[in-house]
Structures are given as C-alpha cells and as structure tokens.
Amino acid sequence: MRTFLRSHRALQVLAPLLLGSAVAAPYQVQIQRTAYGIPHILGADLGSVGYGAGYAYAQDNLCLLADQILTVRGVRSKYLGAQGTTVVGFQTVSNLDSDFFFKSMIDLTALRRGYAAGPAEHLKLMAGYAAGYNRYLRDTPPEQRPEACRNAAWVQPISEDDVMRMLEEKAIQASAGSFVTALANTAPPQPGKTSGLPAVDLAAFDATHQLNQLPIGSNGWALGAQATENGRGLLLGNPHFPWQTTNRFYELHVTIPGQLDVMGASLGGMPVINIGFNRDVAWTHTVSTDKRFTVSALQLDPGNPLRYLKDGVSRPIHPRTVVVEVGARRASPCRAAYCTPPRTARCSTCRRPG
C-alpha cells in the first residue's frame, strides 16, 4: 500500500505525488507500507522525511502521541484530571506532579535558542514532523480516529515547539526525570525552623527516586565474521525499553535519494532513527549500570529558609511561580518551583488566579 502526499502551505490536499511537478510544494514524500505495516518513507529532503514520519506515526499511534503532547506541554490535569497518572522517567507519577514538573523544567526559550544555533536542517526536520502529524489530523475526521481518543478535545495540532519538548523529555528521563515528585512537591521550612530539621537521608532519597537503579536494561551483541554462518559481521540490538508512552520503539525506513538510506527504530515523537543500519554500518545502544548521580545535601541558612550555605557563603534560592490548570476549575493549583541559579523568568510569590 502506498500513500502519496503533497503539501502546500496555502492549500493542503491528498493527491498522487509527481516528483518534478510544476506545482511547488515544501514537502514531497511517498510512504509505502510493506508486510507487517512497516512504513518506508521516501522524501526529497529532511523536511519531507520528517513530514512522512510524522504522518505515518500518527496513522499508527495517534492517541499515544497526542497523550505525550499533553505531558510535555504540562496540561494533563486540564484534560485528564489531576488524579490520573502517567509515566515519566520510567516511574508512575500523578498528572498534577507531571504538569508542575514539565512547566517548571522545560525552558522553551532556551530550546529554541539552542536549535537555532545549530544546523537549519534540524529545524526543518522537526517542522516537517509536526506538519505531517497535523496533516493526518486534517485528513482524519475526529469521529474516524482510534477509539482511545475519538472526538477527544485533547487531540490537537502540534508545532515544532512540541517536537522540541518531546526530544527534551527523552533527554532528561534518566536524569531530571527521576526527580518529578521531588521537584513538584518541594517546599521550604517555615522561617526560623531550619535548625530543627531532621537529618537528610540520602540513601533513602536515592532508593525512592531510583536514581542509580533504573528499572530498565538492554543488550547489544556484536559478532565478528568468524562467528557467523555467512562470514559477515552481525549486530543484534536488544533494547529492553518499556511499552508505555512513546518509549515504545517504532520501526521505519527513511530515504533521501543520494543522501540518506537508513532503516531501524525510533522512540515515539523523534523524527530520527535511534537504532538501525544503512548499507555500510549498523549501530545500537544499551542501558548501562553506571551510576549517573552523586547525591549530596547543602545546609540551609538558619536565618532564611530561602538561602543555603556553600563554601561558608549564604546564597539565594529563587522561587518561580508555576500554575497548572485542572479541569474546569476557576482557580488552578499553584506552586513555587525553587531553583539556583535564577532562571530568566521573573520570580514571584505563588498566588491562585482569581
């Protein structure tokens, strides 16, 4: 089965793609599905490959990706309720804690600045992915979508900002993602009561948040020519990633004639292949048992719970307001996120909106 897509910024139509057509189109892509439904995506450039990958993934995993968009935007409580749960950093957390975490941790301005400083092709790839996903939404009426999200208000168009957020979520899930509940629920002691605090139990904190004992693993096997029947090298990628959320691997094949021809698997929402092969080389990666955290505790300033001591010097802790919408409530929950050094956002007192 083949899907031919032509995209034009002013007029979006589903029609056979004629490479070299006189009609200008920023995305030119062909999707052909073979046995078991694997998408083979042929694109004119990286933006087109991203367009095809976003469209194909939406065809197969619309509800899964739409749900993940809620997570990285920090709006799960608004659409699915504060008491529901999701998986972040390989741990089950409440929607409310997840929302506070992502609203406080993802710095969209910094992400945009970082990507803008890199190759322009990266931005085109992300923009294409978002456009392909949105094209599928336009092609598929709400009542014809999968049952899990059919007619759901939370299935919405996305932008390259959302792709940046999803890539950031994957980058921090084995680091900052381990601290979702800790960061979302931290609060300073009352003024004047810092001296009576119990001793910090770093071992218990480590165990609670699984900082150095990730509940995942994987294997990778490389066999030389002497160990195979055909006398050629062989690589086995055996990732033990979970099946929840967009951590479930997705198989695809992407080609740009004369530039790129690679097949493998990617995590959901990522417009690149993470584990795969081309005509010359194959690659995989594993989850190691290395310790990624060294946990230590700094003493709070006895005279001010919003200051801490480092090298004998009292330094400030900067609160920042984080507001999360919950359902149809008039007043949304509000917490303060505490950070050092200060973020660019102005720090303020946590107040409930009127």
Helices 46-73 and 120-139 cross at an angle (nearest 10°) of 70
> Strand, helix or coil at 133?
helix
What CA–CA distances, in Å, run from 76 to 33, 79, 97, 340? 33, 6, 10, 27
> Strand, helix or coil at 57?
helix
Count the neighbouring beta carbons within 10 Å of the beta carbon of residue 123.
19
What CA–CA distances, in Å, run from 337 to 76, 173, 320? 18, 19, 5
Judge whether 233 and 225 are in contact, CB under 8 Å.
yes
Q: Is 314 part of the annotated catalytic residue set?
A: no
Selecting among 218, 266, 296, 348, the annotated active-site residue is 218
User: In which residue are the tokens 């322009």 written?
Assistant: 120
Give the residue from 1, 167, 114, 138 showing the smallest Cα distance to 62: 138
Give the residue from 158, 188, 157, 200 showing the smallest Cα distance to 339: 188
Separation of alpha carbons 299 and 314, rounded Å: 10
Please, how many CA atoms are within 13 Å of residue 91, restricted to the half-sphere of its CB? 23
Q: What is the DSSP string of 77-102?
A: HHHH-TT-EEEETTEEEEHHHHHHHH
Which tokens in the block code for residue 106?
A: 């993802």
Separation of alpha carbons 52 and 158, rounded Å: 15
CA dihedral (130, 175, 325, 327) in degrees, to 10, reads 80
Give the single-character DSSP code of 320. Answer: E
* Residues recognised as catalytic: 218
